[in-house]
Amino acid sequence: MGESDFPIGAELEMDGRKFAIDSVNLLAGSVSLKDITFQNGAGFPIFRSESIYVVKDILDKQRLVGNLLGKEEGREKQEEEQAEAKIFHS
């Protein structure tokens, strides 16, 4: 596990709030997260520190869901294009 697993600025959702990765400390095993939800409401950010393992797990799950959603959207678009092609060729 390296810093590339935790891109600075990457957004994730945790505890019903949106966060952005602010910094990574591999030696301490922690990731600093900026609370975007709080910043949008209060006008200034607050930060929290989480274990790299917790953050990696959340990012991996989000990537999996994003990949699954992307495949579903791609399949829907392909079906629409096929339907349009049938109408055009009829």
pLDDT at 78: 59
Q: Is residue 9 part of a domain?
A: yes
Higher pLDDT, 80 or 32: 32
CA distance 32 to 45: 12
Task: Give the domain extent around 66.
Answer: 3-85
Q: Tell me if the pTM is above 0.85.
A: no
Q: What is the DSSP code (8-state) at residue 58? A: H
**Structural domains counted in the chain:** 1
**28 part of a folded domain:** yes
Beta carbons of 47 and 22 less than 8 angstroms apart: yes
Q: Are 31 and 12 in contact (CB under 8 A)?
A: no
Question: Residue 90 falls within a domain, yes or no?
Answer: no
Residue 66 has a pLDDT of 79
For the segment 4-48, what is each residue's pLDDT rounded down to a tens digit? Answer: 789 999 999 999 999 999 999 999 999 999 999 999 999 999 999
In a domain, 53, yes or no: yes
